[in-house]
Amino acid sequence: MKNKGKLLVFMFTVIFLSSLVTLPAMKVKADSSEPIAYSSGLTLYSPVNTTYSSNVIECNGTFNDPRDFESSLNYSIDGNYQGSLPWTLNQNSINNPVAYTLDWSFQLPQLPKGSHQLSIGIEIDLFNSADTIINRTTWVNTVYFMISSSPSHAPSVITVNEQVLIIAAIAVLIALCIGLLRFRKHQKTRPNLNQD
């Protein structure tokens, strides 16, 4: 009964201590609560119209790209052209008969304290069978945001693989401790064969 009590205390202690371990977020995200959905099919998760306390800001968004059209997406910061958005095709949208979903997530260049704007330009072209543009639609979606602090370094982020390794290490440690307690209990209950 003593060993069961010790085992319960040990398990409670391990569970309590492991609950104190707080793993950071898996991804750096901007301080935003609500995404901005534009009529163009663009949804911007960050940055949004808010004030950030860090100049390390992630640009996260999606775009519903109509099938049978050719689309291009680019962006500028404070009126300075940055290039094409580094998007990837969301594999879950391949069978969608209406539109593909394009996703992106990348860190914006570190910006100084003050007000800023991010503009995302979208151009959608429809071609005929002779590869002539018969319809072109363009949008420029802009978000305004502020940075209230001086430049900072990018926060360190624990990746999913590192989180899994930490949890696995804790589980192995718990299993080893339980095995050691069982071994000690077995040693105490086993008769001593070396008595003369």
pLDDT tens for each residue of 142-176 = 999 999 965 444 444 455 566 656 776 777 778 77
Q: How far apart are CA 77 and CA 69, in angstroms?
A: 27
Q: Does 32 score more than 60 pLDDT?
A: no
Amino acid residing at 171 = A
Six-digit token pair at 148?
């209230």
pLDDT tens for each residue of 37-64 = 999 999 999 999 999 999 899 999 999 9
Q: Looking at residue 163, what is its pLDDT?
A: 66
Q: Looking at residue 40, what is its pLDDT?
A: 92
For the domain with range 36-147, which CATH number is right: 3.10.450.50, 1.10.1740.10, 2.60.40.10, 2.60.40.2240? Answer: 2.60.40.10
Q: How far apart are CA 2 and CA 9, in angstroms?
A: 11
Q: Looking at residue 26, what is its pLDDT?
A: 31
Q: How far apart are CA 137 and CA 124, in angstroms?
A: 5
* Domain spans, the chain: 2-24+158-189, 36-147
- The answer to whether the CB of 143 falls within 8 A of the CB of 184 is no
Question: Beta strand 51-52 with 133-147: parallel, antiparallel or unpaired?
Answer: parallel
Instruction: Please return the burial class of 128, using the count of CB atoms within 10 Å of its CB with bins 0-12, 13-18 and 19+.
Output: exposed
3 state DSSP class of 53: coil
pLDDT tens for each residue of 98-136 = 999 999 999 999 999 999 999 999 999 998 888 888 899
3 state DSSP class of 176: helix
- The answer to whether the CB of 102 falls within 8 A of the CB of 40 is no
